[in-house]
């Protein structure tokens, strides 16, 4: 979900592979994050023209209206609201769908796949890298899929939909003395879906880790159809993934830099190593919607601090401060 998250692109998603990245429009839906060519996007219009593009958009709109219970909007106003996130990039989407549930997400993906149109899962649009924008169909999760499905204070977990705003989750967890550890500066607007798509962190992630460190299980809709319920272990993995990892174990063990708690480039494939779980949910985090569309997440809650204090430490040089940081971590 580009939040990117935040769109999931997220997309959360507020939000970013099923092997379909960059594939031509051949009847297969794909993530916009993997299909961008660097253009400026389509010209914003009301869709009233009689060109081939207008007819294609009209056919898709009708297909979506027949199969999706949520909002389907192809007008100028709805599309213009989704042309930007918090970045300087502007891309005009073909249309906007606000799904009501996972069935709506699957139906929207089916329709877009049949018409060869890419999909952009989107959360709060707080990302500064353009992940929540795209020229395909934007899935807006903030309108309907924003429920905290359940909260288990004893287990320290919560089940959330991708459009839940972080502050809403923190408020609900706060009633039990709990909180969600990662806290981006956009906590009043970013969504959990976007945070998962972006693997967001925040100033206190040094204590509780990134979003990937606090995700237990995910339910995702695949662009080629079907649903994956993933967590630790290989259950729910797409066909062939385990064999792919087993074939390249040596490369995966040596090809990633050590000691980096958060990487914002590429995929966290090293999370699939046997010694790391494997952890499919963790590997999904940071993929910005390119591996599938998040529809539900089970996240870990932590004890909220009983008190807060500020300590100011002085160092002669910036490098000395950076070197000392690791020893100050809780």
Q: Into how many domains does the chain fold?
A: 2
Q: What is the pLDDT of residue 256?
A: 83
Average pLDDT over residues 103-107: 98
Nearest to 316 by CA among 324, 305, 308: 324
Q: Are residues 74 and 198 in the same domain?
A: no
Q: Are residues 176 and 47 in the same domain?
A: no
Q: Cβ(157)–Cβ(149) under 8 Å?
A: no
Q: How far apart are CA 187 and CA 177, in angstroms?
A: 18
Q: Are residues 242 and 160 in the same domain?
A: yes
Q: What is the pLDDT of residue 28?
A: 52
Lowest mean pLDDT across 100-114, 119-133, 140-154, 264-278: 264-278
Q: Cβ(192)–Cβ(12) under 8 Å?
A: yes
pLDDT tens-digit profile of 226-280?
A: 999 999 999 999 999 999 999 999 999 998 887 776 777 779 999 999 998 899 9
Predicted confidence (pLDDT) at residue 8 exceeds the cutoff of 90: no
Average pLDDT over residues 67-86: 96
Q: Determine, yes or no, domain membership for 312.
A: no
- Does this model's pTM top 0.85? My answer is no
Q: Are residues 67 and 38 in the same domain?
A: yes
Q: Are residues 91 and 199 in the same domain?
A: no
Q: Determine, yes or no, domain membership for 323.
A: no
Choose one of 99, 116, 140: the last residue of a domain: 140
Q: Are residues 159 and 268 in the same domain?
A: yes
Q: Are residues 202 and 164 in the same domain?
A: yes
Q: How far apart are CA 108 and CA 63, in angstroms?
A: 9
Domain at 114, CATH number: 3.30.43.10
Predicted confidence (pLDDT) at residue 116 exceeds the cutoff of 70: yes
Q: Are residues 158 and 298 in the same domain?
A: yes
pLDDT band at 59 (very low <50, low <70, confident <90, very high): very high
Nearest to 209 by CA among 296, 290, 330: 330
| Cβ neighbourhood burial of 56 (10 Å; 0-12, 13-18, 19+) | middle
Q: Are residues 98 and 118 in the same domain?
A: yes
Q: What is the pLDDT of residue 40?
A: 38
Q: Determine, yes or no, domain membership for 22.
A: no
With a CB cutoff of 8 Å and minimum separation 6, the contacts of 34 are 16, 17, 20, 21, 22, 118, 290
pLDDT tens-digit profile of 293-306?
A: 999 999 999 999 88
Q: Are residues 116 and 219 in the same domain?
A: no
Average pLDDT over residues 20-47: 45
Choose one of 113, 140, 167: the last residue of a domain: 140
Its domain, for residue 122, covers: 32-140
Q: Determine, yes or no, domain membership for 222.
A: yes
Q: What is the pLDDT of residue 330?
A: 66
Predicted confidence (pLDDT) at residue 79 exceeds the cutoff of 90: yes
The phi and psi torsions of 279 (rounded to 5 degrees) equal -120, 95
With a CB cutoff of 8 Å and minimum separation 6, the contacts of 125 are 3, 6, 7, 14, 82, 84, 85, 86, 132
Q: Determine, yes or no, domain membership for 321.
A: no
């Amino acid at each position: 979900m580009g939040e990117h998250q935040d769109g999931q692109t997220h997309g959360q998603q507020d939000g970013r592979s099923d092997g379909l990245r960059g594939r031509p429009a051949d009847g297969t839906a794909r993530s916009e994050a993997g299909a961008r060519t660097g253009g400026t996007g389509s010209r914003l219009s009301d869709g009233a023209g009689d060109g081939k593009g207008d007819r294609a958009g009209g056919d898709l709109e009708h297909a979506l209206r027949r199969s999706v219970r949520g909002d389907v909007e192809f007008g100028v106003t709805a599309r213009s609201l989704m042309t930007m996130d918090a970045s300087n990039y502007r891309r005009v989407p073909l249309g906007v769908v606000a799904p009501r549930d996972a069935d709506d997400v699957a139906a929207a993906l089916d329709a877009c796949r049949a018409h060869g149109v890419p999909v952009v899962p989107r959360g709060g649009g707080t990302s500064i890298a353009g992940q929540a924008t795209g020229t395909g169909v934007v899935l807006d999760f903030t309108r309907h899929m924003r429920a905290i499905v359940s909260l288990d204070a004893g287990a320290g977990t919560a089940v959330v939909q991708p459009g839940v705003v972080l502050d809403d989750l923190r408020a609900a967890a706060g009633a039990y003395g709990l909180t969600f550890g990662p806290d981006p500066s956009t906590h009043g607007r970013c969504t959990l879906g976007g945070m998962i798509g972006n693997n967001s962190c925040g100033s206190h992630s040094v204590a509780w880790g990134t979003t990937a460190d606090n995700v237990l299980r995910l339910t995702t809709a695949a662009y080629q159809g079907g649903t994956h319920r993933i967590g630790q272990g290989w259950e729910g993995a797409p066909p062939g993934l385990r064999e792919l990892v087993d074939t390249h174990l040596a490369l995966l063990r040596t090809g990633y830099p050590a000691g980096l708690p958060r990487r914002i480039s590429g995929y966290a494939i090293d999370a699939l190593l046997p010694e790391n779980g494997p952890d499919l949910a963790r590997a999904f985090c940071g993929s910005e919607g390119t591996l599938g569309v998040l529809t539900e997440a089970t996240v870990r809650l932590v004890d909220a601090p009983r008190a807060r204090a500020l300590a100011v430490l002085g160092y002669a040089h910036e490098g000395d401060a950076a070197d000392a940081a690791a020893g100050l971590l809780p």
